[in-house]
Structure 1
């Protein structure tokens, strides 16, 4: 695979000071999504170049890069999202938006801490693409987005898929803290399973997402080799909502209110 030049204006060095500060804040409050993007910027040096080169090496990657579709624009178009038939990936994504209140443009707004992703550059476009498919991956894998456990599992899955030390940094830190908070290894086992499932699955970032959204979701999972996350489902059930979301101040407040 050809080695592409680095992102213009970058040093290729990791910023460990920023990474430590951001992970401390993220572990204190899992709702602070800004810290995720600070970690990515600090530790994912060279990742966009490697993955963009990998995209170009795939059969359809040249066309995908040439078309340069901005997925956030598609995913925030309600008429486009509403067109997908029941049982499809698009329908599952539509339900995800309705039940969580999340949105692609909301994620894009938070990510602006990574200024490079806003540039008119192929690597920046690829970075936006990686960001914008995150919630679709939640839908495809079954990892819930509104709990710490599901997010940590998807982060580990993402590290296996696209590399980038930032993903591993977040997954590892959340797993280590879970050992103390939960008193068992259910959380960390689920995160490790997420990494293994990411390794086994097809390279999802190279998919045609406009076509994928119209596929029946179970057929798409089989085609892409996305396994059922048994350890995750066990941990989610046995830990319960409070411990499954132990990093989320918002979730803990909601659970306290219900109690």
Structure 2
């Protein structure tokens, strides 16, 4: 659904299949992801293989609440809001809206781009016309917003930390699986030169203090000063992540190129 709210949709279509744990499949797709961290389809496969056990109950509870229906009515399709940079740039300087635009433009990303990647992954899967689809989409569509709010970059460690942070909000085992295995791989590549696993654990801890972002009204947060939003959501600085970056840079290593030749660090 990309248009106006469809109020007559059922909250949950009971014909939806129950996802089951498939760790072997998740492991295979994680190895594919290591070969190309930009291959987003592999991430979707891992999440399908390691589902959030209580997702149905959590989503239904939110959708049955007045707050949930209010957010759904106000923001029926989040990517359209997030990709309207002209409107976001009209909001005050220093706002979350400007920080989000800066991040997405610098990285060459769009919210719709992630939707398109997911649609390719799900093209042969059955579609369901229920409100739960909106909730699932919200979890996907706030991912890049979490980068902005937490300060984690799109480097390998930053992505691992965002996933650990997300686990505490949306406890799919896939978040921990990718986050910690990616951390172990970074440790291997960099000869344990920086507090990588401490950074990932810190991300998990920071996520516990933050209310579930996909259930917040994003349009209410966007005009506010970035630091005010962080304070409202109890998001504090990721100390170990920034310390790891400082260590790598002091060794002449680009944190955004850890898997390149410059990753050969001394122990």
Give the TM bin, normalised by the shorter chain: 0.7 to 0.9
Residue 181 of structure 2 is aligned with which of 173, 188, 192? Answer: 173
Query: TM-score with structure 1 length normalisation?
Result: 0.85
1:6 CA displacement = 7.5
For structure 1, the 5+ residue unaligned runs are none
Partner of 1:164: 172
1:18 CA displacement = 2.5
Partner of 2:112: 105
Query: TM-score with structure 2 length normalisation?
Result: 0.83
Compare 33-42 and 236-245 and name the one that shifted more. 236-245
1:68 CA displacement = 5.4
Distance in 2 (CA, whole Å) between partners of 1:204 and 1:77 is: 20
Partner of 1:246: 258
RMSD: 2.5
Distance in 2 (CA, whole Å) between partners of 1:120 and 1:23 is: 30
Compare 222-231 and 26-35 and name the one that shifted more. 26-35
Partner of 2:23: 16
Q: How big is each residue's C-alpha offset from its partner over 1:103-123, in whole Å with a ceiling of 9 and x where there is no partner?
A: 111111111214569643222
For structure 2, the 5+ residue unaligned runs are 1-10
Q: 1:64 to 1:179 in 2, by over 3 A?
A: same
Residue 130 of structure 2 is aligned with which of 91, 100, 121? Answer: 121
Residue 220 of structure 2 is aligned with which of 194, 206, 211? Answer: 211
Bigger proportion of residues as helix: 1
DSSP-derived class of the 2:109 partner = coil
Asked which structure has the greater CA Rg, the reply is 2
Compare 182-191 and 166-175 and name the one that shifted more. 182-191
Q: 1:44 to 1:19 in 2, by over 3 A?
A: same
1:60 corresponds to 2:67: yes
Q: 1:12 to 1:230 in 2, by over 3 A?
A: same
Count, aligned residues: 247
Q: 1:96 to 1:74 in 2, by over 3 A?
A: same
1:233 corresponds to 2:245: no
Partner of 1:28: 35
1:211 CA displacement = 0.9
Contact 2:152 2:162 survives alignment (8 Å): yes
